[in-house]
Amino acid sequence: MAVAPSDFMLISDLLISLEAGSETHWRSAASRAYYNAYHEAKLKADELCLPEVQGSNMGSHARLVARFKASSKRLKVIAVMLDNAKCSRNDADYGIKNAYSLAEARKDIRVCVTLISEIGRLGATKAAEA
């Protein structure tokens, strides 16, 4: 793998820590943190052999959320967290008519860090056991 999921968080940390940071940096930092979480979730879904969910009007992010939702209660919690993080990332990336503060970015990044931690706690067990 040329890039590891955690490499996205390195960029997020760099952007959020810039002394001369701007709203663009904060938005990008939150987005990069989300992509760390997304890729960790995708790797875990594959590791757990969660069934692929087909949907002609579902994008790859929604399909990944659906893979977790279609499983155990614990994995459904991951699905909700991932979907919430995706919504925050959408706000950061596309809601440019609305102000986005450093505090919001830090909150969104913390959510992603928590999500990544929860994904890491999932064992390499079969999906039915998770």
Which one-letter DSSP state was computed for residue 19? Answer: T
| Helix H or strand E segment including 110 | helix 102-121
Give the range of the structural domain holding residue 35, as residue numbers without chain letter: 5-129
Which pLDDT score, from 0 to 100, does residue 118 have? 96
Domain count for the chain, please give it.
1
CATH number at residue 94: 1.20.120
pLDDT tens, residue by residue, 78-114: 999 999 999 999 999 999 999 999 999 999 999 999 9
Counting runs of H as helices and runs of E as strands, what totals does the chain give?
5, 0
Read off the pTM: 0.90
